[in-house]
A and B are shown apart, each in its own frame.
Chain A
Amino acid sequence: MNSPSFHDVEQLSAYLDGQLSQAEKTRLETRLQSDPAIAATLTDLRQARAILRRTPGRRSPRNFTLTPKMAGIKPPVPRLVPTLGWASAVAMVLFVFTLGTNLLGQISFGANAPMLSAAPMTSEGYGLGGGPPATDNSQVLPTPEPYALTVPEPTPSGEPRLAQPPAAPSSTKASQPIDFWIYAWLGLSIILILAALLVRLTNDQAFRRKVGSKRNQ
């Protein structure tokens, strides 16, 4: 009686599982009847398999179901988000534009505004002595009433200055439309940003409610 080779053990193990072809099975069954060592090995393998098949099954200690977070699922993007994404970008541009314009406005309409706004008045200002010599001084010197009231005091050097007061009212008139647009852009920017945030927040809350209700089911 020879101890079975490893090939025999393999054949016996496959025989137990019904994995042999009909020819292999017949050949092995013939050997099993004549070789007690082979038969004993088959018994050993069968016992081992029987013990393993009786391994008590355990219930899983908890449910392994996945939450959206575990699965890496993010809240769905609402339809308006791409539009509002652009809206945010536009709002940002408008905001920067507004800020820039405002600063420029302060610079140009603050320090230089009187000079710039005074320019259209030069035809009248020339008459005060700052421009080219008038052909007829007598026609220019009697300035209209408002101007006459605002003519500055002569400078120590005796040279009359360019009339400042007329410049001030025209400066405020020029800055009014710009102020309007600044506030309009700023308002629009804020509205767009708030709308984007509101849609996002509403969507997130709806998603959480949906997930929460499914988990409670």
Chain B
Amino acid sequence: MDEPALIRNAQHGDLDAFNTLVLAYQDIVYNTALRILGDEDLAADASQEAFIHAFRALNSYRGGSFRAWLLRTVTNACYDELRRKQRHPSTPLEPETEDGDEMETPRWLADPDGSPEELLDKAEIEHAIQHCLENLPTDFRAVVVLADIQGLDYSEVASALKKPVGTIKSRLARARLRLRECLHSFGELLPSAFRLEEERTL
């Protein structure tokens, strides 16, 4: 994929070129929105909004990391969504069993990769991470999602969030500390395979 050429063409109004970029980046954009918002439907809406806005504002892109530029757009869309959510809070409808207990979301049923045990482990990690992320202030959450989950370097995160690198460094350190405390509270609930790997890392 010749990204600079696609961007140039898209800047001249070539929608096909832009859609090629969308297909390349949609998973990153969606995952970022999902981790910041913690809701699949809202994340899909924010991703779509972000791509629409990105196409219209593409001429404001002046080079540098296109991924960072795109993630700034989706982060802004997520902030808008969070503000809207704050103004109009809603109660999500959780599926229930016949006994009236809350039904676990059987995501593993829809995932074709891995054994049921592995998928259950994945779901538990995901649940723990999402819970801890949602306990962070929004600004810290965005930094940690971009740096640690999406793997952007400090300058890219700074560019995406329009903050100085020093601020990013400071927020990331605080966010990691808080997350460690929160994840620690899950303790034994975290999958054993994960804990063993952590020991090896140390």
Which residues of A pack against B, CB within 8 Å? Answer: 6, 9-10, 12-14, 17, 19, 41, 43-66, 68, 70-73, 214
Interface SS, B side? helix
Using A46-B201, A55-B35, A60-B44 as known contacts, say yes or no to A9 and B148 having CB atoms under 8 A apart. Answer: no
Binds A, one of B10-18, B79-87, B92-100: B10-18
B173 contact from A10, A54, A59, Cβ within 8 A? A10
Q: Is the CB of B176 within 8 A of A45?
A: yes
Using A60-B30, A71-B55 as known contacts, say yes or no to A55 and B129 having CB atoms under 8 A apart. Answer: yes
Q: List 21 A-B contacts (CB under 8 A).
A: A9-B173, A10-B170, A10-B173, A13-B169, A43-B202, A44-B177, A46-B201, A47-B180, A48-B183, A51-B129, A53-B148, A53-B151, A55-B35, A59-B30, A60-B26, A60-B27, A61-B30, A64-B30, A65-B19, A66-B51, A71-B56
Give CA–CA (A63, B48) in the complex, Å: 9
Q: Is the CB of B125 within 8 A of A54?
A: yes
A51 contact from B44, B147, B194, Cβ within 8 A? B194
Interface magnitude class on chain B: 35 or more
Give the distance to chain B from A147, nearest Cβ to Cβ, in Å.
79
Name the B residues within 8 Å of A50 (CB-CB).
Answer: 197-198, 201
Q: Is the CB of A45 within 8 A of B52?
A: no
A64 contact from B51, B122, B129, Cβ within 8 A? B51
CB nearest neighbor in A for B16 = A214
CB nearest neighbor in B for A13 = B173
Q: Is the CB of B177 within 8 A of A56?
A: no
Name the B residues within 8 Å of A17 (CB-CB).
Answer: 147, 153-154, 172
Q: Is the CB of B31 within 8 A of A45?
A: no
Give CA–CA (A73, B13) in the complex, Å: 8
Using A9-B173, A54-B194, A71-B55 as known contacts, say yes or no to A65 and B22 having CB atoms under 8 A apart. Answer: yes
Give the distance to chain A from B156, nearest Cβ to Cβ, in Å.
12
A-B CB proximity, top 6 nearest: A13-B173, A52-B148, A48-B180, A60-B30, A65-B19, A44-B180
Give CA–CA (A57, B145) in the complex, Å: 12
Q: Is the CB of B31 within 8 A of A19?
A: no
Name the A residues within 8 Å of B23 (CB-CB).
Answer: 63, 65
